[in-house]
Structure 1
Amino acid sequence: MIVCKRVYRPAVPEDGYRVLVDRLWPRGCSRETLRLDAWLRELAPSEAIRRAFAHQPERFAAFRTAYRDELAAAPALWQPLLERACGGALTLLYAAHDETHNNARVLAEFLDEQLAAAPPREECR
């Protein structure tokens, strides 16, 4: 199961494996107190795509397409997350205020599609 959650919301056991998927460290969060298992900044959208989007909902469709293209070109970056999703809960953490138009939602959608298209694995059943 893959879920998305703002980094500012409290961690709960149901989150499972918690991964920060933003390129920049979230404001106001100390590295000592933020509970996460990994920070995969290289999995975040490139600087050019992030700046072009600028968190403007009307630019989200173009952002989504560009980011998905980047993801498709770099399976080594997201493949380990599929293994985590098969083994239990995977929580993608993000800092954006908009809970609908953000990179974590696009990544979750992309990973869900990859899981659905992959041959069934024992740990995913």
Structure 2
Amino acid sequence: MSVCVRRVYEAPEPGDGLRVLVDRLWPRGLRKEAASVDEWPKGLTPSAGLRRWYHAGEGSYEEFADRYEAELAAPEAAGLLDRVREWAARGDVTLLTASKTPERSHAAVLARLLRG
């Protein structure tokens, strides 16, 4: 099992395994066929308020990660996170995001949690 994070705009690769879009909105300018997304659990994304707070530069990435982890404890998000854990237990999973800096995004937080 491996969990990796990639930009959704990058071409799919053979080793991607299950491709999971972890953004709430569909990426701009990307056709669904080109993205090759297998799953899209929208309820796993940060709240709109948390996203706005982080993108406004009001806090550090570490604080964002802590707040996002707290949101993931809510029943719907926790259930979806468990589902992605099950997928990862069965094989490779690639978390896809439109973020320009995926290593400092919510997708990186998810990947860390999934890797345990």
The question of a shared fold, defined as TM-score above 0.5 by the shorter chain, is answered with yes
Summarize the alignment of residues 1-125 of structure 1 with structure 2, pairs less than 5 Å apart: 1-54=2-55, 56=57, 59-74=60-75, 75-113=78-116
Deviation at 1:99, TM superposition (A): 2.8
Cα distance in 2 for partners of 1:9, 1:33 equals 9
- Relative to structure 1, the CA distance from residue 21 to residue 55 in structure 2 (aligned partners, 3 Å threshold; closer, same or farther) is farther
Q: CA deviation at 1:31?
A: 2.0
Look at both structures and tell me which one has the larger radius of gyration over its CA atoms. Answer: 1
Structure 2 residue identity aligned to 1:32: E
Moved over 3 A (4+): 55-58
Give me the CA root mean square deviation: 1.6
- Which string of whole-angstrom CA distances, capped at 9 and with x for unpartnered residues, describes residues 79-124 of structure 1? 11111111110000000111321010001111222xxxxxxxxxxx
The alpha carbon displacement at 1:61 in A equals 1.6
Aligned residues of 1:57 and 1:101 also touching (Cα < 8 A): no
Give the deviation of 1:42 after TM superposition: 1.0
Structure 1 distance, partners of 2:56, 2:114, is: 22
Listed as ranges, the gaps of 5+ residues in structure 1 are 114-125
Amino acid at match of 2:100: H
